[in-house]
Chain A
Amino acid sequence: RRLARAALRVGEDRTMDKEEEFKAEINALEEKLAELEGKRKEKEESHKALQDSLEDAASRYNKLLKKKDSLAVNVDLSKIVIIDGLPVKVPESKHTKLSGVLQKKFFGVKGKFKTLDLAVNSKKQTVGFAFAQYVDSKTASDVARNTNGKKLDKKHKFQTNLMSEVAKYEKVPNEFKEPEPLVIKERPNFLSWLMDNKVRDQFVIRFGNDTQVYWNDPYEHADNQGRVLCYGGEREKKAGKDWTQSLVRWSPKGSYLATFHLQGIVLWGGKDFRRVGRFVHQQVSDVDFSPNENYLVTCNYSNTETAILVWDIDTGKRMRNFSCSRNDLWPIFQWSSDDKYVCRAVKDKKNPEKNRISVFEVPSMGLLDKKSIALKSVQTAQFSPSNPLIAAWVPEHGSIPASMHIIEIPSKKVVRERHFYRVNDLKLHWHPQGDFLCAQLCRQKSKKTVVYSFEIFRMRSKNIPVEVMEMKDRVVDFAWEPNGKCFAVAHGDQKSAGRNHVTLYTLEGSKLKLLKRFEQRLCNKLFWSPRGRTLILAGLGQLNGALEFVDVNTMTCLTTAEHFMCTCIEWDPSGRFVFTAVTQRIQGDELRYAMENGYKLWTSQGKLLATVSQSNFYQILWRPRPPTTLTEEEQKKAEKELRTKWWRKFEKEDERIRLGQLSGQEKARLDMKEGWKKYRERRRKDWKAEAKAREEVIGEPEDIDDFTEVETIVETVLFTKEEVVEE
């Protein structure tokens, strides 16, 4: 038992020792743990401190970036050129030499150069590029362009660029953004009016403050003065403005209507006459279109360099400006038929030797061959309506006779030349299709007598043969037949008090031939129908509007009519109708025309269709038609088919209109008649009823006439005869 107890005690001691050992170990471990914890916390704190410092650094960096950006913005990048390809690793000592060389030889522009900075790295050696700063961006861009690719020496070649360009490429976003599709702006259909199913023509009238465009419909709308309103400026009226401030003009093919305003010209087109173009030219007074409606010429007769402006209609851009004098006749610029050239006879008032014909190429608007055609004392220059040929004439000068030239463009070769002696005046008349040219000369035969002659050039024949015709009478008017080979001359001596002869000639065949002579007509102006065939002999002005319609194919006079005091005659483009109008100038309030102001519509045979009386009447113009797109064969085919294919259809249409009208008119008249009869019946009844009352008032019955007829037999002795009857 004692042993056991001793063993137990020892065991207890041993476990107690072990326990203490363990406790000591645990304590040591706990200490270590605490130590580690402490270390961990330390690390955490330092980590946080690091993070804070990082954030600090980041914010500072951003601030610096912003500063850099703002700094960059302050400096105008377009004035800085970045030069690349410079020698690298040049030590600092040689920097000044390098920059000196660069400045002197390449980049120093006198007066505009500011600084040249070489980019260096931390070791103060060049990195290979430099910045050159200039006063303005133009010099910078010029320098950048000029020095790019130039060599500094064998090994180094410049690559220069504007800093603004570099900055631009920097800004390119990383993602590709698809560009928005462009919106196509609808342009109005300028030819919509040609598609009218009744094939009516349009015309514009200008009266008072109104401008109105009408369809010409004389048969179906005879009760409405033969016209249907297309557009009368209603939109402008709503806005409180007038459609035009003075006159209007159509373009040569009828696509546009030009209106005049204080600030310039406005073009209108399409079905609703919307605004399609605007050309600013202060106080413009005249406008001219090119034959294919591509270009516009405006003029305001000012004494400046911009008196005449040439515009491109489609883009609205101003192409070139010219000056002019007040005496020049409009149109000052003559266009060629294909819109490729425009010419002008430039007259030098002080020195007529210096007169020249300036031919400009369109659209560049530069002088053809950079030089004008020098033609001393040239008076007028006109383009042929169909070919690029200019006809010009020069009056007599000292001993040199007057001459006429036909010049071909663009070769500037004189194709035909004629000289004349003792010429007082020369007028050029081109045939509307360019087939012929007529020069009307007025020559001084002797001291007192003046003789007239015509030089007719056949433009379509080889070598342009000339035929000469003399005329003793004074020539009053000359007119070519459009689409034909005839011409008419109105001539007469001044004693015949306004009555002139009209002679018709033809150029059919190889020789000039007289067709017919109309004697003693009240005529001083000739108007051909645009289709040829019909001619109006008009007596305007003093002759008070005598009109005579002549058919040239049969040489008969169709009708004689009159429009008292008419001032202008306008054929429609199809040759079916004619307007004769009494117009007055827009400025004056002319009482002379006040009564008669207005217009009349006639057929090509001379039948009066409509009369419209309109005060303050200024203008009436048909809308021109573009030339037909049918070939000659197709036209002939259509004419042949008229009788077979189309005639029935047209007849039906005409019949329908006629019946409709008749019934309408008839009905109206019947109504009026009935109404009137009823009214009169009513009054007659009332009147009869009052008969008795009337008798009382008057005092005697009404039946008794105021006059009494007394029959007296008057005997007059005719003769007395005494006869002695012898018994």
Chain B
Amino acid sequence: LAAQDSQYGSQPTVFIYRLADEKDRKFDPITKPLGELFVKGDRNNIMTALWSDLNKCIITAHEDGLVRKWDVEAQKEVEQVRVCDRKLQSMQLSKDNTMIVAASKGDHCAKLLDTKSLEVMKTYKSNRPINAAAISPLFNQVLIGGGIEARDVALVSGRAGHFEVDFWHMCYQEYMGSVKGHFGPVNSIDIHPNGKSFVSGAEEGYIRLHHLDQVYLKSSKKMNL
């Protein structure tokens, strides 16, 4: 498992820890990290770190919009791609680990990357800061959630803040529909591996679990490529 460290004056780093094997249920909490990955002098927080490429690489998303690929063995940076101009909030893998969707807070958009090449394949441009995104395992769809800052919520009516979870068509980059319900910015989204339900958590402290119905499944099948 990889964990990252940010702020408090310390260098943002990704630590790699070895978890105990399944058979050996003892988990020593204070384990020394196997390795550390960081860019010297770079003070940008590391927002997400993901394993990829059959455990050989780690892909990290940084606050300033860069996405870096690291080689685990050598503990060195292999590749670096600028995905967004402004703040990058989080990243998630698709079910088959071939695609990554990155949510950008500053750019008001989400971008779809290829895991191997780290190339930006698609962009989904929204009108509010995006905090989290996920890729549907069943259809060619991407879920996006976000909303304007928590401190500005009081100044805006609940509807105007756009605290919805949007469904976008992956290929055509078109907005398909949204699920309303939160009244604070959505901070994280995840889809069930079977693609029929999803969960979203927001700033106001509510976690909403949605089960997608037959209408959704039918129409998505139609709209799928």
Contact = CB atoms under 8 A, between A and B. Distances in A.
A679 B117 CA distance: 12
A694 B54 CA distance: 6
Given A591-B155, A687-B98, A694-B54, A673 B225 contact: yes
A676 B127 contact: no
A595 B54 contact: no
Interface in B116-174: 116, 121, 127-128, 140, 148, 152, 155-157, 159-162, 170-173
Instruction: Output the residue of A564, A673, A676, A690 with the most chain B CB within 10 A.
Output: A676
Interface residues on A, range: 20 to 34
Interface in B63-106: 96, 98-99
Contacts of A679: 114, 121
Nearest to A693: B54
Contacts of B159: 544, 564
Nearest to A613: B127
Contacts of A677: 225
Nearest to B53: A690
Interface string B198-225: 0000000000000000000000000001
A481 interface: no
A595 B160 contact: yes
B31 interface: no
B59 to A, nearest CB: 16
Nearest to A590: B155
Given A676-B171, A683-B114, A697-B55, A595 B162 contact: yes
B225 A697 contact: no
A595 B225 contact: no
Interface residues of B, number: 25
Contact of A595 (B99, B148, B171, B172): B148
B96 A591 contact: no
Instruction: Output the residue of B99, B160, B162 with the most chain A CB within 10 A.
Output: B160
B130 to A, nearest CB: 14
Contacts of B172: 669, 672-673
A690 B96 CA distance: 11
Interface string B32-60: 00000000000000000000001100000
A595 B161 contact: yes
Nearest to A668: B172
A686 B116 contact: yes
Contacts of B160: 564-565, 592, 595-596
Contacts of A564: 159-160
Interface in A329-353: none
A595 B108 CA distance: 11
B174 to A, nearest CB: 10
A687 B95 CA distance: 12
A163 B128 CA distance: 82
A595 B152 CA distance: 11
B199 to A, nearest CB: 18
A569 to B, nearest CB: 19
Contacts of A596: 160
A673 B122 CA distance: 12
B171 A591 contact: no
A595 B161 CA distance: 7
Interface string A625-667: 0000000000000000000000000000000000000000000
User: Top 9 closest A-B pairs, CB basis?
Assistant: A676-B171, A683-B98, A591-B155, A697-B54, A595-B160, A693-B54, A672-B171, A613-B127, A673-B225
Interface of A: 544, 564-565, 591-592, 594-596, 613, 669, 672-673, 676-677, 679, 683, 686-687, 690, 693-694, 697
6 contacts: A544-B157, A565-B160, A594-B148, A679-B114, A686-B116, A694-B54
